[in-house]
Amino acid sequence: MIDIANLMAVSIPPADPKEWLPDAEAGVDYLQSQLRNDETILYAHLQCTLVHGVLADRAKVTPPDHADLLHAMLMPDSTWSISHVSGGGAPDRVYLAPPHDHTGSDALDDAESLVARRSFSAVDKGKTRTEVSQRLVHALGLYWLDEESAFCRLDEHGDIDPVLRVIDLEPYTGRSSDILVTIKARDLARYMVVTNTVLVQKFDFTRFIPGSFTMWAQPGEYRERGADLFYNVTSQPGASYANGILISRPGLTYADLVREHQRRWNDEDKQYATFKVYDWKHQRVAEISCAPTALASYFEPESPLPFQITPAFFRPEVLQRYKADPEKYRLEHRSVYSRAGWSLKTYDINEAGQVHTYLHYLGDLPYQEQLYWHAFNEWPKASISKRAYQTDIQGQWTDIPDPLIELVAEVRKLDEAKPEWWQPRGEDLRATAHYPITTSPDEWGNSILILDQLLVEGFASKGIRARLDNLSHPYEKEWGSLKLIQELMIAQGFAASDATDAMEPLRQLHFLRSKIKGHAAEAQRQQLIKEARTKNGSLKEHFEQLAFDCQEAFEKACSSLSRV
């Protein structure tokens, strides 16, 4: 990564500039050192530094004509334009002019512009706009993110990867016009290979103190550091400059790039972990690789290899990573999706509380993700779940009810219908509704919080009051939504006790949310946790029963609210 401090050191005069001012050639040393960096400067504008990179046809600069290239004028505000030519005895002509059609260098005429700086005349009041080649950005699959100040992609782990950065240098220099644009060297190299181009950086390091400089005492001296780095330099007391050309060629060939894509396409470099499993084909527990070559399909009964749907078992904490980061992962009730592009097609939880899935699907995961699952792998304590047996082995629809799935589906319908008595919950909240699967009170409390937000907080008191007004039924202004629904049921003919009983599960849910995730005393919180475990056997089973009860109560509430 570009070290901003090193760039500042060659661009901004220090407090005592006596030795710094005559040494502009240090800027060339800095730029040459960047050839070993994993980032490449496309454009830099600072007090004493200007670097402007373009992509030139490789054939035009192989070998480079030094004299021709040193005459190049690369202007940052040169952009595509519709130009008009008139006179000279020829008919008027209108044409599309590229950014660098008249650079003064045959090699750089029509070079590909990478960075442009523009201002909307008489409109823009702030900084000059810095724009980047859309061709480059689109080809590399990049997207602008304000919070990164960069064009980004997702890496193999699903993390944001800033590839092409636009860095505002004003916080470092105090000058609003100072800017740095960089790109990851590997990505630029790939682009240069497929476009048959090389990066040509025109640089100018000029050092002097404004107000005390009069003129250059002597013309610049021409210097070369190999065929691809050449410049003019002069130095005198209190001033110096070094300006010239640096050509950067890609460190990989077209054949390298093709081979890289072939390996990725064929998964040639992919690795596979080994897991503790129940090999039901051979009626044994064993450690078996999830590599495709180590497994046989169900339709290959004569193969000695274990089945692809050989189950592996894991501690329930394996799912916590996906619960904790809903921005990066989508954890559904029986599958996991990563924004990095991979997915775990199915999983379930058996009677012993173990998460289980099949070797075939583990093999579809990236190797680093396989290793993550491997860290939670353990020998089976029970068989796969009854639901998994029905759906995965028998190929049938499951007959096992799941109140949380059904509640989420009902909430989705309400979100789409938008009745006046409902506040849409949104996809983000619906996606975070999960059963607690570990013994952690925090996980249990979070599940209760989300269920309460999903159900109770969805009821809009204003719309419920409107229904009570239509029935001329009295109510208190301070009543919450559950009390209002209870009164609506009474107004519709329910016995008061039946209406109270109908709303009790939702009332209990809201009570637990307020105490477990609210500001209740720790002693009360611990007592509620103890009661949940004692009454139901575990926090997981408590939540499951609560979800069943809330499903019935929610259906009754919605039925009452939906009556005309």
The pLDDT score that the predictor gives to residue 220 is 86
Q: Is 307 among the domain residues? A: yes
Residue type, 255: A
For residues 368 and 387, give the distance between their C-alpha atoms in angstroms, rounded to a whole number.
Answer: 29
- In this structure, are 334 and 465 located in the same domain? no
Question: Is 264 domain-assigned?
Answer: no
Q: Which amino acid is at 146?
A: D
Q: Would you say residue 249 lies in a domain?
A: yes
- 354 and 421 in one domain? no
Output the 3-class SS for 332-343: CCCCEEECCCCE
Last residue of a domain, one of 255, 290, 313: 255
HEC string for 425-454: CCHHHHCCCCCCCCCCHHHHHHHHHHHHHH
- CA 105 vs CA 66, 110, 135: distances in Å: 10, 10, 23
* Residue 262 included in any domain: no
Q: Is the domain of 554 the same as that of 432?
A: yes
What is the SS3 assignment for 281? Answer: coil
In this structure, the answer to whether residues 208 and 284 fall within a common structural domain is no
DSSP string over 19-74: TTTT-THHHHHHHHHGGGSSEEEEEEE-SSEEEEEEEEEGGGGSS--HHHHHT---
| One domain for residues 146 and 88 | yes
Examine the domain organization and report whether 418 and 386 are in the same domain: no
Q: Which amino acid is at 211?
A: G
DSSP 286-305: EEEE--GGG-B-TT-TT-SS
Q: How many CA atoms lie within 13 A of 161 on its CB side?
A: 17
Q: Are residues 320 and 184 in the same domain?
A: no
Ramachandran angles phi, psi of 407, nearest 5° = -65, -45
Same domain, 496 and 363: no
Q: Between the CA of residue 442 and those of 35, 438, 445, 446, 525, what are the distances in Å?
A: 50, 10, 5, 6, 11
Average pLDDT, 10 consecutive residues per value, the chain (564 residues)? 93 94 96 94 96 97 96 89 87 88 91 91 81 96 96 94 96 93 97 97 94 84 94 94 96 93 88 97 96 92 93 97 93 94 96 97 97 98 96 92 95 97 95 93 95 97 95 94 96 95 96 86 90 93 96 97 85
Identify whether residues 11 and 72 lie together within a single domain: yes
The pTM assigned to this predicted structure is 0.82
Task: Tell me the pLDDT tens digit for each residue of 463-489.
Answer: 999 999 999 999 999 999 999 999 999
CA gyration radius for the chain? Answer: 34
81 and 177, same structural domain?
Answer: yes
How remote is the C-alpha of 122 from its chain's centroid?
37
Predicted confidence at residue 462, as pLDDT, reads 95
3-state secondary structure 151-178: EEEECCCCCEEEEEEEEECHHHHCCCCC
Q: What average pLDDT does the structure give for the chain?
A: 94
Query: What pLDDT does 564 receive?
Result: 63
Residues 543, 467, single domain; the answer is: yes
pLDDT of residue 217: 84
Listed residue (326, 286, 321) closest to 306, CA to CA: 286
Residue 45 lies in a domain: yes
The structural domain count of the chain equals 3
Neighbours of 535 (CB within 10 A): 10
User: Does residue 430 belong to any structural domain of this protein?
Assistant: yes
- Residue 264 is predicted with a pLDDT of 87
Residue 223: which of 516, 24, 358 has the closest Cα? 24
285 and 419 housed in the same domain: no
Q: What is the span of the domain harbouring residue 426?
A: 403-562
pLDDT digits (tens, 9 = 90+) for 320-351: 999 999 999 999 999 999 999 999 999 999 99
Q: Does residue 266 sit within a domain?
A: no
Distance from the Cα of residue 207 to its chain's centroid: 42
Identify whether 231 is part of a domain. Answer: yes
**Percent above pLDDT 90 for the chain:** 85
| pLDDT for position 347 | 97
